[in-house]
Amino acid sequence: MIMLDSNIVAVALPTIAQDLGAAFSSVEWVVSAYVLTFAVGLMPAGSLADHYGRKRFLMFGLVIFTVASVACGLAQTSWLLNWARALQGVGAAIQLSAALAVLGNEFRGIERVRAFGFWGAVLGVAVAAGPIVGGLTTSYLSWRWAFLVNVPTGAILLTIATLDVEDSKDLDAVELDLAGMASFGSGLFFIVWGLIDGTSDGWSNSLTLMKLGLGLGLFILFFLVERRQSRPMIDLDLFGNRSFLGSCVAMLGYAASAQVMVTYLPLYLQNAFHFQPASTGLAMLAYALPLFVFPTVGARLALRVSGRMLLTSGLILVAGGNLVTGLMANAHMPYPPFALGMLLIGAGAGLLNGETVKVLMSAISPERGGMASGISASLRFVGIVIGFAGLGAILAGGAKSRYGELTKALIDTPIFEDGENLVTSRLVAGDVESLLRGLDLTRQDQFREIFRASFESGFALLLLSAAAISGAAAVLTYCLVCARATAPLHGSRESSPISGE
């Protein structure tokens, strides 16, 4: 439910804008407001769940998320919808931090391997299904049902949580680290806000630089505050644990080079192959099916190979998949060979989905499960935001450069308002037809081909950059994560050796 709502509305944004009579720039915050409050709330929510009880916070988060979903579905203005989405992000952060902490506390040894393998499979399906479900819901029902469907689901989950989930907390949590929560939350808020707006406002824009600078300053303050706390929200000494640090690198690399493809691959399929939304959903199965299958494969392999090998192998598969798709895009190849790369990305992402969380959480004692789940989920979403912003800038830069090369020799290039910057923004958004209006048919055919070639060139650069990110993460993960500390359990029902239990 949480992961579906992080991207289910992306394909519905034009419909929402039309229905509410809002500018497209306003409804873009339907996605951004959710991601922003979600990312910011994860660590404080995990700490609060450790302190007050994970079952209580799981139910609290479910109530907030469900109520916010009703508000989203009934919103009559973009302003109300954006604020409801922000509240929904808060509820998502609370329930995800609590849910992962419950999972880590409930299971040990081989049961933990199986639990996180299943969790990874469910997460993979939800991430990949978001655009498909969003498109079908918008086409055949209404965009409002993308939110209202959470109401019965939330009611069912509240009933299950009440009856079946056992409560747990950190018995050593005497007082809350309020200074750490405030400095970390506000610092991450400004960093994520700056990254979200940087792609549209420009990275040299004074407001963008101010947001990023404030975020960096608050993170420095957070570091100083945590060093003085007897029971900090984040135990900074954990980063001296090489396996923990390596799992953090793996999570960031996975999110920034594989999970972001849930948004970028549909864009390529529609722009390069001219697939309709329904066809795009079917074409995404090459990426989605391995996300469902490979977490189970990873759980079985975890009985035979170390966590280091699984994490490294997953990142290598993602790097190989991005490399193949990048080469296919650059060579203007048809869908079947391009789909091979998508399969490899999905397979690597499937291995990493549960394993990254399992290794990271196993390095932290179950008593601080809220902190562990908060770190895990925060890294995932920060990686997605950084990857989305960075790769988006690479896509725009590559498309703009190629467009300039292709039109440089033309004597009578059409003059578009705002020049190449407008062309680039429309290309990246997939809005080519608005650029072609007003041109005669011959010129339309000529520039449609120029726009296609420009987009493919930029996207190939994006994919090759993603391959470099996951490749570098694979090397660092292999060097940092200890094979002995993440050794396979060989079917034992004893607790994980990483946590020292």
Specify the amino acid at residue 343. Answer: L
Look at residue 339 in the predicted model and tell me its pLDDT.
92
Look at residue 426 in the predicted model and tell me its pLDDT.
66
Quote the crossing angle between the two packed helices 78-106 and 13-20, to the nearest 10°: 140
Look at residue 340 in the predicted model and tell me its pLDDT.
93
Taking the alpha carbons of 159, 165, 171, 177 in that order, is the dihedral positive or negative?
Answer: negative
pLDDT tens digits along 352-378: 877 787 777 776 666 555 566 667 777
- Report domain extents, the chain: 2-163+235-399+456-480, 178-234
373 or 313, higher pLDDT? 313
Only one residue has tokens 């996605």, namely: 31
Q: For residues 189 and 176, what is the distance between their CA atoms, to the nearest angstrom? A: 20
Q: What is the pTM of this model?
A: 0.75
Q: Which of 310, 338, 334 is nearest to 324 (CA)?
A: 338
Q: For residues 380 and 372, what is the distance between their CA atoms, to the nearest angstrom? A: 13
Cβ neighbours of residue 402 under 8 Å, at least 6 residues apart?
453, 454, 457, 458
pLDDT tens digits along 222-272: 888 877 776 676 777 777 778 888 888 998 999 899 988 887 887 788 778
Look at residue 67 in the predicted model and tell me its pLDDT.
94
Look at residue 492 in the predicted model and tell me its pLDDT.
43
pLDDT at 463 over 90: yes
pLDDT tens digits along 16-41: 777 777 655 566 677 778 877 887 78
144: DSSP letter = T
Give domain 2-163+235-399+456-480's CATH number out of 1.10.287.3240, 1.20.1250.20, 1.10.10.1100, 3.90.1580.10.
1.20.1250.20
The share of the chain scoring above pLDDT 70, in percent, equals 79
Q: For residues 213 and 220, what is the distance between their CA atoms, to the nearest angstrom? A: 11
Q: Which two tokens stand for residue 199?
A: 């792609």
Mean of the pLDDT values across residues 64-79? 90
pLDDT at 493 over 60: no
Judge contact between 170 and 10, C-beta under 8 A: no
How does the average pLDDT of the chain come out, rounded?
Answer: 79
pLDDT at 192 over 80: no
Specify the amino acid at residue 443. Answer: R
pLDDT at 414 over 90: no
Q: For residues 309 and 307, what is the distance between their CA atoms, to the nearest angstrom? A: 5
Three-state DSSP string of 88-136 = HHHHHHHHHHHHHHHHHHHCCHHHHHHHHHHHHHHHHHHHHHHHHHHHH
Q: Which of 316, 474, 461, 468 is nearest to 392 (CA)?
A: 461
Taking the alpha carbons of 53, 56, 60, 65 in that order, is the dihedral positive or negative?
Answer: positive
List phi, psi (to 5°) of 487: -65, 150
Q: For residues 92 and 1, what is the distance between their CA atoms, to the nearest angstrom? A: 9
pLDDT at 392 over 50: yes
Q: For residues 196 and 208, what is the distance between their CA atoms, to the nearest angstrom? A: 9
Judge contact between 91 and 38, C-beta under 8 A: no
Judge contact between 452 and 271, C-beta under 8 A: yes
Q: For residues 335 and 274, what is the distance between their CA atoms, to the nearest angstrom? A: 11
- The separation between CA 243 and the C-alpha centre of its own chain, rounded to angstroms, equals 23
Judge contact between 105 and 495, C-beta under 8 A: no
